[in-house]
């Protein structure tokens, strides 16, 4: 049975890795992304080469009209939504000390990483509730969190706060929707090699070399995408509201 996935922020990085994973499994995929489609044509050409069935909409998850237009388009084109991956996220444009952080930066980061996740989940959950059960569940919502939800960085407080909020969003949506057969999970990446981490690449490469990560390499978007695929599987039905670290073991406390 063909499934339909909605992926926010799917033009590049982790989001695009997830889109490719779903496409390889035969999903139909809707991509909502703030970037212009032509700017990531090389990535989308990969989907075309795979024979993927997808569509791309440029829009901002912070904006109600964009969220509603995307969901309406996805349902009209593919008939429903089985999976939502809330991946859209931004880092501060400039890392600033907590005492210097601006309201503008806070609003932008929290608006995308937390508000967008909240209201996209709300909208898609309502759509899923209109749909019949498929096998043992009605749908799956996956939130892409971050190790920064629990690891303090005082020079990017807004990012840490937003990702900490995603932890609770996962819990409250999971509790509310479990009885309706909709499972909700958080995937918590660590240091993943993407455009977002280019500015700290040297720093984390040094930490990896020093043994701070038990799995001594950078993570890849494909590493994250594989775990997203796992929790969306029809056999993954007796757990909800949980998170999985995809961080090379960085979360392990060691003496």
Which residues are tagged catalytic?
A: 159
The total number of residues written for the chain in this structure = 255
Angle between helices 103-110 and 157-177 (to 10 degrees): 30
Distance CA(14)–CA(36), nearest Å, equals: 17
Residues 110, 248, 228, 17: is their CA dihedral positive or negative?
positive
140 backbone dihedrals φ, ψ, rounded to 5°: -140, 135
219 three-class SS = strand
Task: Enter the DSSP assignment of 133.
Answer: P
Distance in angstroms (rounded) separating the CA atoms of residues 242 and 234 = 16
Pairing of strands 28-33, 139-144: unpaired
The DSSP output letter for 99 is T
Cα–Cα distance for residue pair 168/43, rounded to 1 Å: 33
Residues 6+ apart with CB under 8 A from 161: 106, 110, 114
Determine contact, residues 203/211, Cβ cutoff 8 Å.
no
Give the C-alpha separation, 191 to 102, whole Å: 25
């Amino acid at each position: 049975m063909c499934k339909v996935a909605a992926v926010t922020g799917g033009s590049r990085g982790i989001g695009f890795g997830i889109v490719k994973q779903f496409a390889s499994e035969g999903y139909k995929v809707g991509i909502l992304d703030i970037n212009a489609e032509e700017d990531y044509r090389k990535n989308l050409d990969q989907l075309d080469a795979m024979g993927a069935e997808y569509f791309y909409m440029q829009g901002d998850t912070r904006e109600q009209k964009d969220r509603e237009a995307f969901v309406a388009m996805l349902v009209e084109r593919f008939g429903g939504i089985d999976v939502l991956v809330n991946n859209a996220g931004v880092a501060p444009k400039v890392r600033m000390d907590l005492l210097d952080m601006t309201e503008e930066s806070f609003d932008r980061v929290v608006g995308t990483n937390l508000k967008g996740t909240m209201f996209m989940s709300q909208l898609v959950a309502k759509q899923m509730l209109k749909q019949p059960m498929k096998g043992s569940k009605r749908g799956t919502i996956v939130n892409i969190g971050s190790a920064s939800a629990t690891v303090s960085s005082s020079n990017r407080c807004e990012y840490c706060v937003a990702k900490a909020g995603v932890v609770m969003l996962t819990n409250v949506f999971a509790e509310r929707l479990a009885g309706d057969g909709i499972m909700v999970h958080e995937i918590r990446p660590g240091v993943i090699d993407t455009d977002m981490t280019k500015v700290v690449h040297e720093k984390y490469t040094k930490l990896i070399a020093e043994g701070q990560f038990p799995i001594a390499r950078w993570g890849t978007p494909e590493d994250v995408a594989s775990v997203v695929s796992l929790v969306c599987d029809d056999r993954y039905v007796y757990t909800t509201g949980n998170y999985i670290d995809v961080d090379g073991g960085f979360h392990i406390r060691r003496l």
